[in-house]
């Protein structure tokens, strides 16, 4: 993983707008089949090359494949590559009384803003149309309505062919270009924590098995000399799934979660691992988000070289102060979000520069790289706005570099 030497490097956190010739194949909902079918796979190499070139044009230094192989459902793509799970439809469970393992997304906010959640608006983008392959507000269903996912046999990774195709597409697209490549992969909490364990002797044993399955995907990526971004929004959002927990209960759970995540990346090269967490992509009030000060010390116990944390939205921007009192481990890097996915407003490059310089003044200019808060392809209303945001980020990074070097 390259480090800053004479300027601030720029990346982003995940998904980017897909071209129309991919969207047209998956229009109509959350269909995994559409995004794993032969015609979609046939079109992917061209699409990945185009999106890599677009990122380079916009000034991005660490690029990805746009998350194009994860169309339909980001969480669902890895479920499609891991076996050991079944879905018990409502009313057909061996235990009809078995509830969902935890509350739905943002239950704490839901209790405070019931009318907003009943409207379905929280599941929409920030004002633009819902892109094909992403759920519409009308199509959203609660966990109990979808059925209950249960682990019924050993959790095993079966996605070797799929991840090798992802790797080949990205490697071909970046060949001969002065950029690094990364692939985002779902974290073990986000894959397995919501699922009932019906096979292993304990929850701890089950989650370690999930971690081992995830590791196979991560290892394939790092073996190809690409950066793996372990996507673990649940490090922040778990607080919302258990609305009656106190902070000490969350910290106890996250302490074990650190062990699970570190197990998933055990023996992999740390300099090819970055960790992403955020407070979720939904456009909602976020008044009940867990504060960074309660979890930051646990985040930096994860054995990654770099930590990408949401930091640009109006609910969390002030939390840069946390790093004034918490020392970043020697040699580690922060990749704060300096561009928000929660608004179609395009940040001014001067604001981006201020955000970068603010972090650099705390942890050192060599230890800060610029990113978005989360993937912006699915939440920002139109691709033109996405490109403008990425351009603003690279322009802001140039301004910051002039001030820092």
Cα first-last separation, the chain: 21
Please state, as a whole number, how many other Cβ atoms lie within 10 Å of the Cβ of residue 223. 12
d(CA 211, CA 187): 8
Task: Pick the closest to residue 280 from 123, 59, 393, 148 (CA basis).
Answer: 123
CA distance 117 to 128: 18
> pLDDT tens digit string along 148-198?
789 999 999 999 999 999 999 999 999 999 999 999 999 999 999 999 999
CA 161 to chain centre: 22
CA 132, 135, 139, 144 dihedral sign is: positive
CB atoms within 10 A of CB 130: 16
CA Rg, the chain, in Å?
A: 20
CA 154: distance to chain centroid?
26
- Mean pLDDT within 14-24: 90
Q: In whole angstroms, how far apart are CA 56 and each of 14, 173, 247, 372?
A: 15, 11, 42, 16
- pLDDT-derived band at 116, boundaries 50, 70, 90: confident
- Kindly state the percentage of the chain with pLDDT values over 90: 75
DSSP result, 308-347: EE---STTTGGGGGHHHHSPPPTT-EEEEEEE-SS-SSPP
Question: Quick one: how far is CA 187 from the chain centroid?
Answer: 9
CA–CA separation, 309 vs 260, rounded Å? 19
pLDDT in tens, 303-315: 999 999 999 999 9
Distance separating alpha carbons of residues 32 and 14, to the nearest angstrom? 18
- Write down the pLDDT at residue 132: 54
**Residue 318: predicted pLDDT:** 97
User: Token pair for residue 155?
Assistant: 């959790």
Kindly tell me if the per-residue pLDDT of 280 is higher than 70: yes
Query: Who's near 124: CB < 8 A, 6+ residues apart?
Result: 130, 136, 137, 283
**Domains of the chain, start order:** 20-404 (3.20.20.210)
* Per-residue pLDDT reduced to its tens digit, 346-403: 999 999 999 999 999 999 999 999 999 999 987 887 899 999 999 999 999 999 999 9
pLDDT digits (tens, 9 = 90+) for 204-262: 999 999 999 999 999 999 999 999 999 999 999 999 999 999 999 999 999 999 999 99
Global pTM reads: 0.93
- Length of the chain in residues, anyone? 405
């Amino acid at each position: 993983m390259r480090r800053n030497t004479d300027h601030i490097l720029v990346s982003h956190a995940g998904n980017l707008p897909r071209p129309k010739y991919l969207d047209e194949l998956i229009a109509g909902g959350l269909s995994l089949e559409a995004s794993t079918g032969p015609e979609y796979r046939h079109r992917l190499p061209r699409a990945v090359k185009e999106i890599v070139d677009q990122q380079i044009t916009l000034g991005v230094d660490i690029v990805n494949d746009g998350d194009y192989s994860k169309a339909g459902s980001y969480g669902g793509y890895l479920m499609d590559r891991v076996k050991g799970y079944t879905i018990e439809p409502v009313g057909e469970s061996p235990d009809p009384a078995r509830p969902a393992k935890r509350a739905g997304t943002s239950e704490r906010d839901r209790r405070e803003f019931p009318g907003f959640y009943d409207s379905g608006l929280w599941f929409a983008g920030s004002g633009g149309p819902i892109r094909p392959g992403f759920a519409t507000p009308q199509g959203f269903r609660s966990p109990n309505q979808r059925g209950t996912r249960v682990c019924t046999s050993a959790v095993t990774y079966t996605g070797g062919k799929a991840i090798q195709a992802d790797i080949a597409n990205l490697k071909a697209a970046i060949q001969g270009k002065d950029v690094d490549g990364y692939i985002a992969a779902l974290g073990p909490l986000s894959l397995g924590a919501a699922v009932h364990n019906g096979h292993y002797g304990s929850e701890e044993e089950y989650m370690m098995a999930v971690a081992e399955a995830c590791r196979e995907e991560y290892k394939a990526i790092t073996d190809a000399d690409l950066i793996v971004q372990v996507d673990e929004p649940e490090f922040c959002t778990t607080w919302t799934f258990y609305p009656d927990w106190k902070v000490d209960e969350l910290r106890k759970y996250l302490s074990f979660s650190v062990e699970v995540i570190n197990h998933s990346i055990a023996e992999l090269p740390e300099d090819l691992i970055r960790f992403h967490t955020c407070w979720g992509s939904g456009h909602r009030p976020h008044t009940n988000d867990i504060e960074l000060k309660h979890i930051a010390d646990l985040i930096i116990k994860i054995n990654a070289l770099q930590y990408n944390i949401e930091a640009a939205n109006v609910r969390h921007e002030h939390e840069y102060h946390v790093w004034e009192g918490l020392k970043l481990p020697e040699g580690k890097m922060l990749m704060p979000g300096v561009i928000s996915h929660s608004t179609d407003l395009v940040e001014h490059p001067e604001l981006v520069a201020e955000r970068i310089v603010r972090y650099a003044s705390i942890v050192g200019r060599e230890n800060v790289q610029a990113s978005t808060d989360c993937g912006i392809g699915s939440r920002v209303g139109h691709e033109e706005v996405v490109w403008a945001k990425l351009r603003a980020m690279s322009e802001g990074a140039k301004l910051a570099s002039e001030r820092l070097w």
